[in-house]
Chains A and B, each alone.
Chain A
Amino acid sequence: KANSGFNSLLFVLQWKIDDKPVKIDKWDGSAVKNSLDDSAKKVLLEKYKYIENFRLIDGRLIICTISCLFAIVALIWDYLHPFPESKPVLAFCVVSYPLLIIFLVAHRKDPAGMDPDDVWQLSSSLKRFDDKYTLKVTFISGRTKQQREAEFTKSIAKFFDTNGTLVMEAYEPEVSKLHDSLAMERKIK
């Protein structure tokens, strides 16, 4: 009896659920989109063995962290040197903060940049309260810097069962088809 209690505890404490099939609330639009996006990424990483380029994401994380640091500095400085002596430092932080945010947004718009390797990009859209999910795969050649894209738009009902579980057997072939169509073009050229 002590054993099954321990098993229950282990069941509760298992944190990582990467191997479980993805199950979400089918009426939650953002959860649906996130699960489709993540699974498309999984296909590229696991089936085609690509490596995720963390540089863009790391850049974003660093900018956000610096922004928060500016805010923390402003908070602590103001606490140690009460207003109005803290005015110049506060003014500096308050102006720098939105500048960093603007820089962050500008940074988002420039993905490929100087990368010498071939780059595969995924982008998707799912309108609010709509069931049509669009997945776009873009291939950017590291050598020629030319890019080619392929996309599909399908109803999310094709990929989820009635319980809200993502059916990879239905989704994975669609993602692979997009990828393969671009890969094949490359070989022909």
Chain B
Amino acid sequence: GPPRSVPAMLSLDFLDDVRRMNKRQLYYQVLNFGMIVSSALMIWKGLMVVTGSESPIVVVLSGSMEPAFHRGDLLFLTNRIEDPIRVGEIVVFRIEGREIPIVHRVLKIHEKQNGEIKFLTKGDNNAVDDRGLYKRGQHWLEKKDVVGRARGFVPYIGIVTILMNDYPKFKYAVLFFLGLFVLVHRE
């Protein structure tokens, strides 16, 4: 006899557009997706090249720099070799062995004649300097630890990034559905 009726999801109606596509159109849909990802990637890498920083945009994770910066603020960094590090500047640095960079203010600098510097940092809102955070036996930071210097900021927007990091399932769900949407829709 005739086939029994199939549940709506299984009948793949939302894929009708895709089913009518020939090979070229299907490849074009995949390319579309690839182009969007590539464009985002190229913008990020471009920012890296232009600013000289390996992470040109960062999100403040803690309240250790209040009232200057709050959790969720977005910071724009540059890391030009020519710019000297000065006391009072806000730097983003990475401690060896730790993945997450820290945003604090430069407190003290020792400078040698050849330009090499060692510096100490402290969060505005912290009671003590950052020596306790540095690696075992490390008392100073060097230029190589610097990810960048803060040149500008946008408040609060970074909260989305924090949410995505705290709830990775949310992040993957958003990315999955966005990807699906781009792949299935024409233009």
Contacts and interface: CB of A to CB of B under 8 A. Distances in A.
Nearest to B79: A84
Give the residue among A16, A24, A64, A78 with the most B Cβ atoms within 10 A. Answer: A64
B16 interface: yes
Main SS at interface, chain A = helix
A83 B49 CA distance: 9
B52 A84 contact: yes
A34 B42 contact: no
Interface stretch (A65-73, A108-116, A150-158): A65-73
Contacts, number: 89
B54 interface: yes
A68 B19 CA distance: 25
Contacts of A31: 17
Interface stretch (B33-41, B102-110, B119-127): B33-41
B19 A17 contact: yes
Contacts of A87: 49
A117 B6 CA distance: 48
A71 B45 CA distance: 9
Interface string B64-99: 000000000000000000000000000000000000
Interface string B22-39: 001001100100110111
